[in-house]
Amino acid sequence: MSRSDVLVDAEWVEAHGNDPGVVLVEVDEDTSAYSKGHIRGAVKIDWKKDLQDPVRRDFVDRAGFGALLSERGISNDDTVILYGGNNNWFAAYAYWYFRLYGHTAVKLLDGGRKKWELESRELVTDVPQRAATSYTAKEQDSSIRAFRDEAIAAIGKLNLVDVRSPDEFAGRLLAPAHLPQEQAQRGGHIPTAKNVPWSKAAQEDGSFKSDDALRALYGDEAGLDFGKDTIAYCRIGERSAHTWFVLHELLGQANVKNYDGSWTEYGSLVGVPIEIGDGK
């Protein structure tokens, strides 16, 4: 796995974004961003309405994911280029979804919407009309998704990476600073977790740091043992999807799972150990 397998740059998108067999998809935290302007030809996926089960706390199921992509006009053999705001935060989450349901030809636009906007590249409001397809999703790939029991069993044994901000890690905040402070019952982190805020993997323009810088960040600075399996978590599993992308897709770590239940689940469980205070 190398960067060119999982990332494209703006020049590539300008040249190939509307080639047959290529589908641009915008996924934003700010779900209204798309309607204000998007890259020409891009369709939208709403991380919440489209990707989450409307009743249970879980993802859309295999059939639901297939129906969604069919309706958006995405085929099994299309190359999907994802991008979004905030350092590709939610685009990385969607990337993880595509991989979870077995779609291998998927890449991120490095830097996402922010870099594109800061470089004053073209955004349009025309919504493309794509003919429906019949997309068939595969079974979920359980090798990249962790559940709560695995997170508890990993304490003191595997790498646990808490990718929230230092204030959330310490228990002083329960949510990122641009959202109202609510959610889990208790603040803190899973014991033995290392705190590497997800955003440290990105440069200010939203593009990813170099492989060497990333290896130093997680290895030398944070003390992750690259010989061990890793579980990443945040609050609801999207920022940790970004870190999953870095560790698994960019650095090629073999066994990395995203614990999507994350702190909103763990911090509300009865009886599990919690550590508070700053990282060591």
Partner 1 sequence: MSTSAAPGAAGTAGDGCGAPAGGTALTAATDAGSQAVVQGHVTQNGSPVPVGYARLLNSGGDFVAEVPLGEDGGFRFFAAPGSWTLRVLAPGGVRAEHAVSADIGKVTELEVAV
Candidates 20, 54, 55, 120; binder of partner 1 (CB under 8 A) is 120
Residue with smaller CB distance to partner 1, 74 or 189: 189
How would you class 217 by CB atoms within 10 Å of its CB: exposed for 0-12, middle for 13-18, buried for 19 or more?
Answer: middle
Contact 65, 4 (CB under 8 A): no
Taking the complex as a whole, the smallest distance from the CB of residue 23 to partner 1 amounts, in Å, to 23
Contacts (Cβ under 8 Å, ≥6 apart) of 20: none
Under rule CB under 8 A, which residues in 226-245 are in contact with partner 1?
Answer: 235-236, 238-239
From 82-90, 94-102, 140-148, 214-222, span contacting partner 1 (CB under 8 A): 82-90
Of 55, 77, 129, 178, the one binding partner 1 by CB under 8 A: 178
Catalytic residue among 234, 236, 247, 250: 234
Identify which of residues 52 and 255 has a Cβ nearer to partner 1 in the complex: 52
Question: Does 207 participate in binding partner 1 (rule CB under 8 A)?
Answer: no
Residue type, 158: L
Among 165, 230, 243, 253, binds partner 1 (CB under 8 A): 165
d(CA 188, CA 267): 8
Q: Cβ distance 151 to 190 under 8 Å? A: yes
Instruction: Return the H-helix or E-strand segment holding 194.
Output: strand 194-195
List Cβ neighbours of 120 (8 Å cut-off, separation of 6 or more): none
**Does 234 qualify as catalytic in the annotation?**
yes
Distances (CA, A) of 243 to 66, 149, 176: 26, 21, 16
The token pair at 60 is: 């859309």
Q: Using CB under 8 A, which of the segments 1-9, 62-70, 110-118, 215-223 binds partner 1?
A: 110-118
Binding part of the chain for partner 1, among 135-143, 146-154, 173-181, 223-231 by CB under 8 A, reads 173-181
Of 5, 53, 119, 141, the residue at the interface with partner 1 (CB under 8 A) is 119
Question: Mind giving me the DSSP string for 169-190?
Answer: HHTS-SS-TTS-S--SSS-SB-
Site for partner 1 in 21-80 (CB under 8 A): 28-33, 36, 47-48, 52
Site membership for partner 1, residue 86 (CB under 8 A)? yes
- Max CA distance (Å), the chain: 54
Does 125 contact partner 1 by CB under 8 A? no
In the bound state with partner 1, the residue whose beta carbon lies nearer, of 178 and 270, is 178
Show which residues are catalytic.
234
Binding site for partner 1 (CB under 8 A): 28-33, 36, 47-48, 52, 85-87, 89-90, 114, 117-120, 165-167, 172-173, 175-183, 197, 199-200, 204, 235-236, 238-239, 264
